[in-house]
Amino acid sequence: VPPSWWLEQAGCGLVLLHACKAMPGGRRIRRRSMWQSGLRAVGLVSRASSSTATEPGAPAATSSAAPAESPGAWPATRVRQEFINFFAERKEHSFIASSPVVPLNDPTLLFANAGMNQFKAIFMGQLEPQSPLEGLTRAVNSQKCIRAGGKHNDLEDVGRDCYHHTFFEMLGNWSFGDYFKSESIDWAWELLTTVYGLDPDRLYASYFGGDEELGLPADLEAKELWLKHLPESRVLPFGKGDNFWEMGAVGPCGPCSEIHYDRIGGGRDAAALVNADDPDVLEIWNLVFMQFYRNDNGSLTELPNRHIDTGMGLERVTSILQDKRSNYDTDLFTPLLAAVHSVVGGEPYRGRLGAEDSDLRDTAYRILVDHARTLTLAVADGAVPSSEGRGYVLRRILRRAVRCGRQIMGAPPGFFHRLVPVVVESLSPAYPELPAAASRVEAVLREEEDAFDRTVERGVQVFQEIAAELAAKGAQVVPGEQAFLLYDTHGFPLDLTEQMASEAGFTVDLPGFEEAMEKQKTRSREAQRDQQAAERGMRPLELVAEQTAWLEGRSIPVTDDSLKYSWDVKPTATVKAIFSESGFVDSTEELGEGANIGLVLDKTSFYGEAGGQVSDIGTLSAASASFDVRIVQAFAGFALHSGIHSGAEPLRVGDEVVCEVDYEHRRRVAPNHTMTHCLNWALREVVGDGADQRGSLVNAERLRFDFSGEALSTKQLSRVEGLVQEVIEKAVPVTSMEVPLQEALGIVGIRAVAGEQYPDPVRLVTVGAGKAEEVIGAPADERWRSQSVEFCGGTHISSSADAAAFVVLEERAISKGVRRIIAATGAVAEQANEEGRQVIKRLEALEAAKLPDEASIVELGRHVDSAAISATVKSDCRARLEVLRKTAKKKQKGSSKAVIAAAQATVAEAASSAEASGLGHCVVVLEDIDAKAVQQVMQSAPENIATLVLAPAGDSVNCVATVPDSLQAKGKADAWVRAALAPLGGRGGGKPGRAQGSAKTDEGGLAQAEEAANSFWA
């Protein structure tokens, strides 16, 4: 790797979004994240009315006080807490804990990148009844955020300036259909000037200046509200690029107002520097007035409820309160900078920027501490470096950090993971989950750093091969496809490819690289859509805020789904609405055959897709029409029964239908779900508490369970499988009941999914002798550790015996630190067990054979690899087959020696007999010997007599002949072989003294060859 390239990396663009801008989808969104799609994360409500708050980050018991004048009086912990206290105590907001920075339940969103992520269901009008957020009107918190990944990263800012970060904390307050612009602006002013004590003369506010394309006028209401606090010269209009916020291409949006602070002050007019990327005029707070909805066609409609969504970067406001021009000089970063110096040695951090930082050492310092925070928080919350999605972003962040440390600062190999404890110590007061994850984070980063060393070496070799091929062709440009191959397949950074190409006299086709990247993304998106369509038989419909507001506006009640846990019922329901891809209709007559449609009913017995379990399927039958239900999903309490319009008799709003759930389908799903709970419990019994659930999927065929941890040994996996089977054989009851969430959280041994959002009350499901009523009656009883106790809203069997059987079909890694088990119950498991028994029977027959046939061993091995049998049986069979292979080879080796020796003796005997009869040649037929062995036999052929061997092998015959020098005048070996094989149409060749050939043969063919061979010497 060229040294000049390494030196440039400290200043190079990182694949990161800085903490102030994001440009997803080509839109420039200042200081706010574009919502890409859903996040459902932990957000347990802590009401401000509580007399005390014990949860870290929750409002403290004491009220906000006026700030001390000394910058040292404002440590970051106080800055964070005063913000929360202000809104929780003075303005009656509920404290909602930060959701994980990794949205484990939403693979379409790389990271939580704004405080509003966990409130998406509210903004989209999709909040489910009994959600812990139900009824929430005001909220406050500090959210862990990462803005990294995606095409439109700011490649030049992180490390090269003093205020951009990949991980940051977003202080935010929200109103959900409650207060709006007036209170939001007034309270922001009050907090900044009264609590934080900022100089009002240094504050500037921006507002939306209107946009003709959007058809929206200037937000003069916001302007007038700001004029109560600021002179008009410091209330500035900007366009939609700066002051119109959108969640995504479709969804809630609205104008926003940003608050900027001038670090210099002194009475100067800094209006011209607002939104000009001046490091001394910073945007510190963004107030979003969410009042519109962006439709698919780009038009805007008014939201039924208007919301407030604000965000203020903790790092920036802390730097202001501590009077530091650089965020890296605050107490959020100084301990980390000291730790880097301790690890790498050399000069300490001096805060140099630009030309002053000629050796890029301080740039590298900033990169390392920023990336250490990002990676520690992401891995602690469940992400791991990998080759896909968010894992790939993390991998590239770590590799850039390692390159900067190793090549610029001279850090020793394996240095980076040693920064993790300092990050944990710094942030654990606000995020108490970090200490428990510290050792795991260190292990993951250490392993990834080691792997990077190997990747660089491998990538350099591949590049050198590409360069050699190009040079041979006289080419001067590395094709974009080749650069993308290095990037995508070998993890080789594009900037390193560019640097090495330059030094080798090449350039890189960057447009071609981008095209290859975009093609891959398109393929990935299409594959995901096709997979969903294939699994569900249709592209699913979705109700968002506009549709749920439409339903509410017509007084349509949410669907009563209380019968979803009942079995073999057929309730009658009324069609309240019919939804299609073009909107709501009154009758399916308006739609063509094959159209995707969804029916909203007043009540239903269908279970809707949730918690990793597929929905029920079935039929809705009317008097003269029926509708096949392929998927059921709930949106803000409205159960949408989706399927494909058959084009037969129409369904109309107001029709009565009979809900006919396919209960046979549910009877295959429910055992898989119940045994998923038992599997979760069994893993904890065998592996320990570190095996935390990371996801699951339950359908009618199999169950899938993802968990954190290392690979299970065959013994451990067998024990897990055995424990679940024991639960089935004991025929223990499966019970459930709804209980208050806080009471349920106190149950000993309760298993809850990290990142999952549970309703209150929550449904408690138990599998074991202790029924749900007993468990909640004695939550501290240690007996509950010996059975499954979980929160769950899915459908279950009533007795564990209904599962009939349980088999683990596969256990494998899906990423670093995360494993996946695929298992089955019922008929599928019994079939797997029977197949396993048949495999074992075949294996035992081979083991009993004196000389196992190698071909049979190979064939059985292939069958074992593809068979749907127990993973433990498969592992055992593979081990036994390997023993058989070694035994067969050993016996075969000994047997081959004996066969060759016997064949040599036969040839010698035939030669002696021919010689005694006065013949100068002999023809010998050798049975059961292969061509290679014939060659070995003929190496010791008699030297005084011509010898030809015919060795039949299936439907062919091999022939080898030797003729001593003394007889070659009479006949040569190559001619003899051709003559012998001529009757069979065979061919041969060689030298006068030795030749060989082969021919196809059938019954009688061997005798013809033998006769022709003898006739040659006549």
- pLDDT tens sequence across 246-296: 876 777 899 999 999 999 998 999 999 999 988 899 999 999 999 988 887
* pLDDT for position 510: 93
Q: What does the alpha-carbon distance between residue 518 and residue 204 come to, in Å, rounded to a whole number?
A: 40
pLDDT bucket at 526, cuts 50 / 70 / 90: low
- pLDDT computed for residue 647 by the predictor: 73
Confidence of residue 24 (pLDDT cuts 50, 70, 90): very low
Cα angle: 594, vertex 598, 602; to 5 degrees: 150
DSSP state of 159: T
Residue 769 to residue 173: CA distance in whole angstroms = 46
Q: 656: which 2 tokens?
A: 């009565």
Alpha helices per DSSP H over 169-276: 181-190, 220-226, 240-243
Is the CB of residue 986 less than 8 Å from the CB of residue 997? Answer: yes
CA distance linking residue 869 with residue 843, whole number of Å: 14
Question: Which residues partner with 238 through β-bridges?
Answer: 208
The DSSP symbol for 408 reads I
Please state, for a pLDDT cut of 70, what percent of the chain lies above it.
Answer: 88
- pLDDT at position 73 is 87
Q: How far is CA 1014 from CA 253, 618, 1009, in A?
A: 98, 81, 9
The alpha-carbon radius of gyration of the chain (Å, integer) is: 37
* pLDDT for the residue numbered 521: 73
Q: What's the pLDDT score for residue 134? A: 86
**pLDDT of res. 1005:** 86
Give the pLDDT band of residue 8 (cuts 50, 70, 90): very low
Residue 541: which of 609, 637, 631, 648 has the closest Cα? 631
Cis peptide before 761 (omega within 30 of 0): yes
> Which residues, 6+ apart, have CB-to-CB distance to 842 below 8 Å?
860
Q: Which amino acid is at 211?
A: D
DSSP secondary structure, 441-494, as one string: HHHHHHHHHHHHHHHHHHHHHHHHHHHHHHHHHT--EE-HHHHHHHHHHS---H
Give dist(CA 641, CA 833) in Å, integer.
37
Closest residue by Cα to residue 493 from 155, 813, 925, 952: 155
Q: Cα–Cα distance between 698 and 270 in angstroms, integer?
A: 59
> DSSP letter string over 636-698?
TTEEEEEEE--SSS--BTT-EEEEEE-HHHHHHHHHHHHHHHHHHHHHHHHH-TT--EEEEEE
Per-residue pLDDT at 79? 97
Cβ atoms of residues 21 and 150 within 8 Å: no
pLDDT, position 407: 78
Query: Which token pair is 574?
Result: 């009324």
More confident residue, 113 or 604: 604
Look up tokens 């981008």; give the residue. Answer: 514
Q: Residues 544, 126: contact at Cβ < 8 Å?
A: yes
pLDDT given for residue 713 in this prediction: 93
Spatial neighbors of 276 by CB under 8 A, at least 6 apart, are none
DSSP label at 199?
Answer: -
Q: pLDDT band at residue 755, thresholds of 50, 70 and 90? A: low
The Cα 881–Cα 860 span in angstroms is 8
In the block, tokens 């704004």 appear at 114
* Least-confidence region, from 51-65, 300-314, 456-470, 543-557: 51-65
Taking the C-alpha atoms of residue 226 and residue 876, their distance in angstroms, rounded to an integer, is 74
Q: Residue 404: pLDDT above 90?
A: no
Categorize the per-residue pLDDT at 151 as very low, low, confident or very high, splitting at 50, 70 and 90.
very low
Question: Quick one: residue 522, left, alpha or beta (phi over 0 = left, psi -120 to 50 = alpha)?
Answer: alpha
pLDDT at res. 29: 30
What is the DSSP code (8-state) at residue 193?
Answer: I
Q: How sure is the predictor about 529, in pLDDT bands with cuts at 50, 70 and 90?
A: low
Mean pLDDT over each residue of the chain, to the nearest integer: 86
> CA–CA separation, 2 vs 403, rounded Å?
12
Closest C-alpha among 709, 727, 720, 718 to residue 682 = 720
42 has a pLDDT exceeding 50: no
Range among 174-178, 891-895, 908-912, 968-972 rated most confident: 174-178
Q: Of the candidates 740, 754, 752, which has an alpha carbon nearest to the alpha carbon of residue 789?
A: 752
- 730: alpha, beta or left, given left = phi > 0 and alpha = psi -120 to 50? alpha
Q: Evaluate whether 691 touches 614 at the Cβ level (below 8 Å).
A: no
- Residue 607 in contact with residue 615, Cβ under 8 Å? yes
**Model confidence band, residue 127 (pLDDT cutoffs 50, 70, 90):** confident
Nearest to 378 by CA among 323, 421, 437: 437
Nearest to 643 by CA among 603, 594, 583, 587: 594
* 125, 246, 299, 305: CA torsion to nearest 10: 30
Q: What is the pTM of this model?
A: 0.63
Q: What is the pLDDT of residue 754?
A: 60
Residue 93 CA to residue 137 CA, distance in Å, equals 8
Count H helices, E strands: the chain?
Answer: 26, 34
Whether residue 1 has pLDDT greater than 50:
no
DSSP state of 543: -
* SS3 state at 930: coil
Is the pLDDT higher at 721 or at 693? 721
Whether the bond into 59 is cis, omega within 30 of 0: no
Answer yes or no: is pLDDT of 36 > 50.
no
Residue 67 banded pLDDT, cuts 50, 70, 90: very low
Spatial CB neighbours of 136, under 8 Å, sequence gap ≥ 6: 45, 94, 96, 122, 176
The stretch 329-355 carries a mean pLDDT of: 95
Q: What is the reported pLDDT for 708?
A: 86
How much is the pLDDT for 628? 94
Structure tokens at 809: 């079909």
| Mean pLDDT along residues 128-142 | 89
What pLDDT score was predicted for residue 849? 78
CA nearest to 899, candidates 856, 936, 948, 953: 936
Q: What sign has the CA pseudo-torsion 990, 991, 992, 995?
A: negative
Measuring CA to CA, how many Å separate 502 from each of 94, 266, 461, 480, 934? 57, 49, 16, 15, 59
| Residue 149, C-beta contacts closer than 8 angstroms, at least 6 positions apart | 15, 16, 17, 110, 111, 390, 392, 393
Residue carrying structure tokens 């907090």:
191
Judge whether residue 155 has pLDDT over 70: no
The whole-number average pLDDT for the span 935-943 is 89
- In terms of pLDDT, which residue wins out, 520 or 832? 832
H runs (alpha helix) in 191-283: 220-226, 240-243
Q: Which residues contact 919 (CB under 8 A, 6 or more apart)?
A: 945, 1017
Higher pLDDT, 778 or 862: 778
What residue type is 409 in one-letter code? M
Choose the most confident range, by mean pLDDT, from 236-240, 466-470, 591-595: 236-240
Q: How confident is the model at residue 30 (pLDDT cuts 50, 70, 90)?
A: very low
Label residue 985 exposed, middle or buried (CB < 10 Å: 0-12, 13-18, 19+): exposed
Can you give the pLDDT at residue 15?
29
For residue 569, is pLDDT > 80? yes
Share of the chain above pLDDT 90, in %: 58
Q: What is the pLDDT of residues 390-403, one digit of tens each?
A: 888 888 889 889 88
What is the reported pLDDT for 46?
Answer: 35
Q: How many residues does the chain have?
A: 1018
Per-residue model confidence (pLDDT) at position 899: 82
Examine the pLDDT at 60 and tell me if it is beyond 60: no
3-state SS class at 59: coil
In this structure, what token pair is assigned to residue 527? 């594959």
Q: Per residue in 634-666, pLDDT tens?
A: 998 999 999 998 877 899 999 999 999 999 999
**Mean per-residue pLDDT, 534-559:** 83
- 3-state SS of 212-240 is CCCCECCCHHHHHHHCCCCCHHHEEEECH
Give the pLDDT confidence score for residue 274 in this predicted structure. 97
**Which residues, at least 6 apart from 416, have a Cβ–Cβ distance to it below 8 Å?**
368, 372, 398, 401, 402, 405, 445, 449
- The 3-state DSSP class for residue 573 equals strand
E-state strands within 715-857: 734-739, 762-767, 788-791, 806-815, 818-825
CA dist., res. 118 & res. 112, Å (int)? 8
Rounded CA-CA distance 38/663 in Å is 31
Q: What is the pLDDT of residue 156?
A: 52
The confidence score (pLDDT) of residue 50 equals 31
